[in-house]
Amino acid sequence: MADEARPTNPSTSGAPTGAHTTNHQAPDRPAANRPAANRPAANRPAANLPPRKARSTGLAVAAAGIVVFNVSPFLNWVGFDDETDFRTGYETDSLVPFIAYLGLGLLLAMAYARGRAHRGQHRGLTLVSMAVGLAATIQAVAFALNPMGGLERGDDLSAQIGVFVAILGGAIWALGSGLLAKEIEGDDHDRTDDDARAAENH
């Protein structure tokens, strides 16, 4: 009985240690490509990271342009060729102060969105502001090239300083709105925020 074959212990067999096992571990991926929860602590975003918001630079520039445009109705817009009689923007065309007041309304709306929106802006509202700013600029440029109101006042009209102030204000207004529209908005993908949510869930 002593000569009976005994079970062979794989761990004590002649095969090299570890020869019967296979390492199926996947190669390490770069830390930047790993899910947030699997990254090293040094590379993992903070779970309480605040959402990234649109910078206020564009809003400030748009506000400056709207203020400049609102000054223009108080200035002379047209004058007669004899340079003895002038009319302000209010007296020239009711559309001039309407555009100015519309700009103020859009500015208040964008400022409200700045405080209430998750990302600091609603891009649809910002694009409307840019469109109105562009329209105001084109209107003022057209007025400078050929002053409107000749049917009521005669054809001998010349553009005055208020028109050029309106052109400047409208251009700055549209530029500022465009700068704000380029900033992040609620529908935009933000990898940082997604990673933070993944870290919270794990």
Which range has the worst mean pLDDT, 5-14, 89-98, 166-175? 5-14
Which pLDDT score is estimated for 44? Answer: 46
Q: Where are the domains of the chain?
A: 57-181
pLDDT in tens, 19-77: 454 555 555 555 445 555 555 544 444 445 566 777 888 889 999 999 999 999 999 99
Q: What string of DSSP letters covers 60-118?
A: HHHHHHHHHHHHGGGSEEEEETTSS-EEEHHHH-THHHHHHHHHHHHHHHHHHHHHHSS
Q: How far apart are CA 138 and CA 103, in angstroms?
A: 15
- Average pLDDT score over residue span 186-194: 55
pTM to 2 decimals? 0.65
- Decide if pLDDT at 163 tops 90: yes
Q: Give the range with max mean pLDDT: 55-64, 112-121, 169-178.
A: 169-178
Instruction: Yes or no: say if 165 and 114 are a contact pair by the CB < 8 Å rule.
Output: no
Which pLDDT score is estimated for 45? Answer: 47
Taking each helix axis from N to C end, the angle separating 95-116 and 57-71, rounded to the nearest 10 degrees, works out to 160
